[in-house]
A = this chain, B = another copy of it.
Amino acid sequence: MPRSSATRPTRRQREPLSRERIARAALALIDAEGLEACTMRRLGASLGVEAMALYHHLPTKGDLLDAVMELLLDEMDMPTRAEAPPLQRVRRVMRSYWEIAVRHPRAFILLAARRFNTDRAFRLYEQLLEAFADAGLDAAGSARWFRLIGGFASGAGMAYAASSEAVADATSLRLEHAPDRIPYPHVRAVAPYLRVQNLDAGFEFGMDRLMAQLTLELHGERR
């Protein structure tokens, strides 16, 4: 679909540019060819337009990447109070964050590395922190559990993205594909369980343990 408009950039018959349309094209480009392929010139070309036309809708490349982040965050599950009990809401939000890494391994690093500065990002935080509060955590506890659970989700997503086939940077040794050539016995034994196919189960395992520990703490078993 972006292809068709790209192949013949007939000036008259294309819909006008917009921040959102540009961001969608950028995400498609990143998914298909990687973050480093997403240049203003190539993005313009994929929209049948000169690179400089983009600057009419986005003042800088940083704003473009922020727009792509918003698009990614739009894919997240944001359950409301009515939909599920607090800890289930936390879990669904985190699960959907992880799923962004699975669907967009080459774009996920934007979420992990860039500051969340858009209103949409703050709305997401609000929803999540509301769930923590509803579960019974105070502000300090919310901050800590947010860092713990969110840190895990982010790190797990990055690990998925890094070991995904879609990401470039492949070099000689590859943990997943040539474990027999690794001269370290523990690494060799564990490597099969770190394959990309097992990462989703690994994410669920991690979330299980984190939620178990949080539940324990909320019910006053410690401290």
Contacts and interface: CB of A to CB of B under 8 A. Distances in A.
Interface in A178-206: 182-187, 189-190, 192-194, 198-199, 202-203, 205-206
A182 B121 CA distance: 12
Interface string A33-50: 000000000000000000
Contacts of A189: 129, 139, 142
Interface in A134-182: 139-140, 142-144, 146-148, 150-156, 158-159, 161-163, 169-175, 182
Interface residues of A, number: 68
* Chain A to chain B: the 9 pairs with minimum beta-carbon distance, closest first: A155-B155, A143-B193, A151-B155, A154-B155, A129-B186, A126-B184, A148-B206, A151-B156, A139-B189
Given A142-B190, A152-B148, A184-B126, A158 B112 contact: yes
A20 to B, nearest CB: 19
A99 interface: no
A142 B188 CA distance: 12
A115 B162 contact: yes
A181 to B, nearest CB: 10
14 contacts: A112-B158, A112-B162, A115-B170, A115-B174, A125-B184, A129-B187, A139-B189, A139-B190, A143-B193, A147-B206, A148-B202, A148-B205, A150-B155, A210-B213
A62 interface: yes
Given A139-B189, A151-B152, A151-B154, 16 more contacts: A66-B171, A109-B113, A112-B112, A115-B174, A122-B183, A125-B186, A126-B187, A129-B189, A129-B190, A139-B193, A147-B202, A147-B206, A150-B159, A151-B206, A152-B155, A212-B222
Given A144-B193, A199-B147, A123 B184 contact: yes
